[in-house]
């Protein structure tokens, strides 16, 4: 158990924690939330013993192996695969012992013992496990052999994540793991963490990710740590109820709820019966419910649009998109009309960012046409947007450069909605955090009143409150939107339709985000099958027909195994739900106030039985999977 008792901590003359208490039990998955700068990362330093508290105690079982995700990685000549494999310290230490013993060769018994230990920790599968982690995080097989120093900063952070996941940890600490991931890597990580058997503490500003992964929330509130049962949505509801009980906030809360409900009504009147429009309508209903939980947010802004519009704003005709000698997308037909709201979906590297760059005019077409309306006014937020800011200029000066005629008070009032209050508007942005720089970039975009917003991962570095403010502002933005984001909450609440970018095409996608998740899993399976299948391009047509018949016969032959696998997966899902329910009951602090020892014993036994059942199912799943693979390869 992790136990923080009476912990106080002051850094730079500012109190981060004041007599804070918190208990986290083995196996709990906990989301750590709070405003930027409140002390979330410092809490991790306390747990890693990299920081001492001013008062109180921080206790972690001495036997626990702790893994964490480093935020920086130095240039290295080691390959990505070897770097990730370094995360398993026990494996590396044992490999070194074994290499030294085999080089000496004088003690056969010792060598045999080391091989037994290697088998016991599943060490021989280490490279395969590391490769699987890297594959899930978007590294191709060729990338896995590249030196670490050849990757950009964002991809190096992914390597740090792989290294942390490689460690066989009792406690895993992850600080903003999805910041540099795209949607497919985020979905993969979500599934991996759901299966992680140890204790997990995760700092994240991605609400859907938290909802899928955690069963408790630790919130920084007035220098204290408050533990909530349930996922992020449950936390939000509890917080909204608490705010509703505070009379000072009540009227503001009702006004915010009324505003959102009015917007939902207006959208309902316009919404078609299309599946994505209905999905967004449900999401907006949910926003009206949760809006009161953010009534005390420091961020409140609108995104005004240009008065004049053209129809269409942009029209791509038979567009060939990519780079000289490297086409990515073919025959793209895309017209952006006023008010159209598009989310771009697709696997990593399929061309989503290239399509947005082409719409923005930053990437020249290889072929086809790009026609712009007379009154087109683009607001473009690219992933490298923060690097384009002048480090020596203040937020105020950045805006004044765009509009020298604007008064200082007018600009300061505007920047206040982005959290820049008082003298902060005069500070150079070079000293700002990533989240603060992102807010400056969004403010500059809004100031220019575009009628088309092109947004490529705009939520990177933004905290939960700013993401909520951006979601609200985009939901009501009257112009057109094209959005790439790994934040599913943002996609669901701000877009009316999806375009799937995959296999060299950009085409309308009729499903919702849940459908896309299944599509992506299927796409990844197909990719792996194609990678392992022999080339058939040069075979005659008759051979291909015979191959298709053989494939159909094989599918029929394998049907009992595939059905059994599906059955086991359904049982595993139920077992995971049962385990989560028991662990949620065990996490309830009122259980430990005394007099409930029998209930604690019963729940602990139930937890053990649920885990044992899940382990049995997982072993059965592995056996059936191996049998299926063997039958396919026979």
In 3D space, the residue among 486, 461, 489 whose CA is nearest the CA of residue 475 turns out to be 489
Does residue 518 contact residue 529 with C-beta atoms inside 8 Å? Answer: no
4-29 tens-digit pLDDT:
999 998 887 788 888 889 999 999 99
According to the per-residue pLDDT averaged within each range, which of 32-41, 256-265, 598-607 is highest? 32-41
pTM for this one?
0.64
User: Mean pLDDT lowest for which of 57-71, 102-116, 256-270, 543-557?
Assistant: 543-557
Neighbouring CB atoms inside 10 A of 83's CB total 23
Alpha helices in 291-365 (DSSP H): 352-360
Q: What pLDDT is stored for residue 536 in this prediction? A: 45
Task: With cut-offs at 50, 70 and 90, classify the pLDDT of residue 99.
Answer: confident
Determine the Cα–Cα distance for residues 443 and 419; give it in Å rounded to an integer. 10
Neighbouring CB atoms inside 10 A of 532's CB total 9
User: What CATH number matches the domain at 314-521, 3.40.50.300, 3.40.50.80, 3.30.420.40, 3.90.15.10?
Assistant: 3.40.50.300
Q: What is the mean pLDDT of residues 597-612?
A: 78
Q: Tokens 């206040």 correspond to what residue?
A: 416
Strands 14-24 and 341-345: unpaired
Q: What pLDDT is stored for residue 529 in this prediction? A: 63
Q: How many residues does the chain have?
A: 634
Does residue 243 contact residue 295 with C-beta atoms inside 8 Å? Answer: yes
b/e 398-414 (16+ beta carbons within 10 angstroms → b): bbbeeeeeeeeeebbeb
Instruction: Identify which has the larger pLDDT, 608 or 480.
Output: 480
Determine the Cα–Cα distance for residues 39 and 52; give it in Å rounded to an integer. 13
Instruction: Identify which has the larger pLDDT, 66 or 618.
Output: 66
Phi, psi of 271 (to 5 degrees): -65, 140
Q: Tokens 């007018």 correspond to what residue?
A: 410
b/e 323-349 (16+ beta carbons within 10 angstroms → b): eeeeebbbbbebebebbbbbbbbbbee
b/e 425-445 (16+ beta carbons within 10 angstroms → b): beeebeebeebbbbbbbbbbb
300-338 tens-digit pLDDT:
777 888 888 888 899 999 999 998 888 999 999 999 999
Does residue 166 contact residue 130 with C-beta atoms inside 8 Å? Answer: yes
Neighbouring CB atoms inside 10 A of 604's CB total 12
501-553 tens-digit pLDDT:
998 999 999 888 888 888 887 887 776 666 555 544 444 555 545 555 555 55
Determine the Cα–Cα distance for residues 150 and 161; give it in Å rounded to an integer. 17
Q: What pLDDT is stored for residue 37 in this prediction? A: 74
b/e 351-383 (16+ beta carbons within 10 angstroms → b): bbbbbbbbbbeebebbebebebbeebbbbbbbe
> How far separated are the first and last CA of the chain, in Å rounded?
48
């Amino acid at each position: 158990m992790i136990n923080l008792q009476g912990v106080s901590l002051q850094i730079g003359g500012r109190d981060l924690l004041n007599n804070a208490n918190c208990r986290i039990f083995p196996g709990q998955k906990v989301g750590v939330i709070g405003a930027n700068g409140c002390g979330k990362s410092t809490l991790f330093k306390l747990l890693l013993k990299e920081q001492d508290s001013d008062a109180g105690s921080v206790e972690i079982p001495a036997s626990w192996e702790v893994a964490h995700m480093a935020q920086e990685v130095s240039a290295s000549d080691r390959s990505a695969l070897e770097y990730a494999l370094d995360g398993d310290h026990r494996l590396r230490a044992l490999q070194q012992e074994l290499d030294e013993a085999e080089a000496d060769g004088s003690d056969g018994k010792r060598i045999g013992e080391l091989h037994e230990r290697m088998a016991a920790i599943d060490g021989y599968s280490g490279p395969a496990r590391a490769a699987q982690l890297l594959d899930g995080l978007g590294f191709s097989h060729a990338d896995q052999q590249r030196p670490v120093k050849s990757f950009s900063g964002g991809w190096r952070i992914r390597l740090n994540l792989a290294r942390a996941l490689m460690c066989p940890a009792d406690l895993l600490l992850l600080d903003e793991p999805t910041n540099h991931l795209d949607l497919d890597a985020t979905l993969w990580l979500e599934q991996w963490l759901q299966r992680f058997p140890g204790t997990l503490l995760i700092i994240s500003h991605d609400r859907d990710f938290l909802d899928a992964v955690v069963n408790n929330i630790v919130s920084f509130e007035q220098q204290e740590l408050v533990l909530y049962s349930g996922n992020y949505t449950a936390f939000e509801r509890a917080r909204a109820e608490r705010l509703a009980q505070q009379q000072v906030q009540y009227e503001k809360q009702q006004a915010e709820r009324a505003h959102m409900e009015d917007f939902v009504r207006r959208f309902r009147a316009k919404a078609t019966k299309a599946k994505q429009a209905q999905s967004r309508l449900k999401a907006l209903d949910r926003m009206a419910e949760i809006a009161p939980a953010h009534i005390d947010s420091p961020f409140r802004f609108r995104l005004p649009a240009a008065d004049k519009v053209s129809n269409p704003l942009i029209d791509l005709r038979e567009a060939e998109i990519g780079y000289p000698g490297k086409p990515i997308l073919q025959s793209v037909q895309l017209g952006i009309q006023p008010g159209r709201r598009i989310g771009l979906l697709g696997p990593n590297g399929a061309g989503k960012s290239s399509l947005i760059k082409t719409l923005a005019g930053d990437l020249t077409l290889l072929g086809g046409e790009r026609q712009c309306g007379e009154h087109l006014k683009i607001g473009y937020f690219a992933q490298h947007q923060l690097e384009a800011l002048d480090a020596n200029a203040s937020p105020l000066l950045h805006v004044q450069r765009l509009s020298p005629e604007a008064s200082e008070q007018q600009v300061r009032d505007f920047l206040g909605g982005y959290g820049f209050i008082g003298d902060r508007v005069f500070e150079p942005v070079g000293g700002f955090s990533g989240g603060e720089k992102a807010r400056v970039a969004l403010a500059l975009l809004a100031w220019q009143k575009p009628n088309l917003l092109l947004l490529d991962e705009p939520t990177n570095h933004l905290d939960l409150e700013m993401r909520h403010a951006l979601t609200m502002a985009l939901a009501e933005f009257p112009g057109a939107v094209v959005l790439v984001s790994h934040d599913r909450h943002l996609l669901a609440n701000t877009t009316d339709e999806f375009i799937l970018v995959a296999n060299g095409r950009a085409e309308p996608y009729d499903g919702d985000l849940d459908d896309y998740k299944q599509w992506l899993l299927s796409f990844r399976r197909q990719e792996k099958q194609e990678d392992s299948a022999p080339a058939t391009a040069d075979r005659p047509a008759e051979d291909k027909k015979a191959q298709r018949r053989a494939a159909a016969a094989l599918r029929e032959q394998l049907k009992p195994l595939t059905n059994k696998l599906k059955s086991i997966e359904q049982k595993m899902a139920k077992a995971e739900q049962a385990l989560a329910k028991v662990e949620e009951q065990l996490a309830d602090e009122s259980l430990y106030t005394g007099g409930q020892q029998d209930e604690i014993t019963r729940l602990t036994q139930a937890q053990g039985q649920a885990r044992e059942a899940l382990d049995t199912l997982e072993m059965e799943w592995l056996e059936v999977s191996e049998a299926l693979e063997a039958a396919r390869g026979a």
